[in-house]
Each structure stands twice: as structure tokens, then as C-alpha cells.
Copies of this chain bind each other. A is one copy, B any other.
Amino acid sequence: MLMKYQQILEEIHKEVVPLLGDGKVADYIPELAKVDPGKFGIYLLFLNEEAYYIGDAHEKFSIQSISKVFMLALTVAHLGEKVYERVNVEPSGDPFNSLVQLEYECGIPRNPFINSGALVITDLMISHLNNPKEELLSFIRELVGQEDICYNETIAASEKACGFKNAAMVNLMKSFGNIKNDVEEVLDLYFDFCSIEMNCNELARAFRVFANHGKGVIDAKRYITESQFKRMTAIMQTCGFYDEAGEFAFRVGLPGKSGVGGGIAAILPGEYSIVVWSPGLNPKGNSLAGMKALELFTTKTGTSIF
């Protein structure tokens, strides 16, 4: 069995290598543009501790929007369902940072995984946590079971310096009353959150908690309730991949979340977590080789939620 999964990862590796030059590394953030487009890694982690990996699975990268999953989990753990009074749970159907939807729907973002929604989550964290910046890191470190997970201040500063569309969104939501704190504070913290760096192994350990319905595999601690897990998984399924949720559901069939750093973290509830990283993006903003690798994985293993 062990051989089988390792062999599958090796086959996948061979098949995606030719694709590594096809994607386009995110260049709107100068710091991200410096990443080597030839990087590729997978980490597969089962609830029963079996683990398989290949490639650059232990090299840190900017998790970017994948942090939105941790932000949501920590916030619902504190506040429960009332989070969803401030942000909706439906797919957006628009490019991931559109203002139009926000204006027509009176400042209520469509879901917590688009930028506007994550900005509202950030605002909630400022209102209800003592030290959200520290607490998010602590939360992730606890999920992973490892201390050296940090923000990258250079990346955060780089994003702040060009994050005008996010600033537009947070100000628009403030004009509708759906941001309670100072807009600069919200933006600063949001960009910090996006700048977290982890490797495939660390992300796989963190997401395994979600694959285990919100309960730690090793510490057996319940991080989020069964119902909160279910809600979060549904949001990952329908909203986790920018404007490609349908395509991802078809090709991969796992709930998950991608980031413009080229990472994708996904789960098969009750079974495993899997994380791929490849910095080249497709036109919709998802890792090109990463999506292909996950598609090959679920096809070869015959596992998917469907």
C-alpha cells in the first residue's frame, strides 16, 4: 500500500514536469514574482499517519489565500454561526476581487474566501480577539504541531504597497457599515495574514485536522465543531478556487483552497489531506501544475467526494 501511493506521486511528478513552464508566477506582488517557477511538491497525509511526499514538499512558500481557511476556522471557533451575518456563504461568480457585487449587495461579501470576505473576517478578529495577529499564528502552530511558522514582513509590506483594490473594498464595506474597525488596521492585518509561509508538509498537517472533521489527530483536541467543519467544507467546495470552483469540483472533486503563491490544500474528509505547490498559475489564478497533479491523484486513486 505504501508503495502504491509513493508510486502514484512519482508518476504524477513525471507527468506534470512538462507543465511547469506553462503557468505564470503571480507578479502583481513584486516579492512573489521572484519565486522559481520550476518548483513542485506534494505532501499526502492520512489520518492514520501514513504519509507520502515528492519534490519540494519541505520548502516554505507564501500560502497567501490559503490562510483564509485558518482565519475562518479561528473566527467561527470563537464566534460561531454569527460570523455568517456579516459574510455570505455562496459562490461569487465574479473575478475574485470584484467591487461590483459588493456594491449591489450592500457591502456583504459573497463568501469568506474572496478578498472582501476575508477582510470582514479580519475585522471580526480585531473586534473579538485580544491579539489576532499572534492568535492566528498560535492557532496554526497548534494545528501543525510545530512552532516555526511565521509571517513574512517583506511580503506583507510588498502587498500593502500595491493593495489598492483591497483598500477600495474595505473602504466600500466601511461605507456600508460592514467594517467596524479602522480601515488601515484591517488592511495591515489582512496583508500580514496573507504573508504566512509554510511548506506542503506543514499545510498537510494543519489541514489534516479539517479532514478529521475539525478534531486534532494527535492531540484529539476539538478545534471546530462538527457543524462548523461541515459549513467550512461546504464553503471550500463551492468557493475555494476563485472562479474555478466548478472546474475543480469536476477535475479534482475535493474541498480545498488555493492561493496565488501556487499552493493548493485539499481534504478528503475522514481520509486524508493533500497539499501541492507549484508557483505557475493558470489564467484563473490557480496553480496550473497543482490542479493537474490533484486531478491525476484523485483519478489514479479513485478517491473524490463524488
Give Cα A104 to B110, complex, Å: 19
Q: Is B99 a contact partner of A168 (Cβ separation < 8 A)?
A: yes
A98 adjacent to B103 (CB under 8 Å): yes
A169 to B111, CA, bound (A): 22
**Which residues in window 281-306 of A have CB below 8 A to B?**
304-306
Q: Given A164-B172, A168-B99, A250-B231, does the pair A90, B93 have CB atoms closer than 8 Å?
A: yes
A79-111 contacts to B, CB under 8 A, are: 88-94, 98-101, 103-104, 110-111
Q: How many copies does the complex hold?
A: 4
Residues of B within 8 A of A101 (CB): 93
Contact flag A233-B99 (CB < 8 Å), given A90-B244, A164-B174, A164-B183: no
Chain B residues, CB < 8 A from A237? 237-238, 249, 306
Place the interface of chain A in its size category.
Answer: 35 or more
Q: Does A132 have its Cβ within 8 Å of any Cβ on chain B?
A: no
Chosen A-B contacts, 25 in total, with CB atoms closer than 8 Å, are: A89-B247, A90-B91, A90-B247, A91-B238, A92-B93, A93-B93, A93-B110, A99-B100, A99-B172, A104-B104, A164-B171, A164-B175, A165-B172, A167-B174, A167-B183, A171-B171, A230-B306, A234-B246, A234-B249, A235-B250, A237-B238, A237-B249, A238-B246, A255-B306, A305-B306
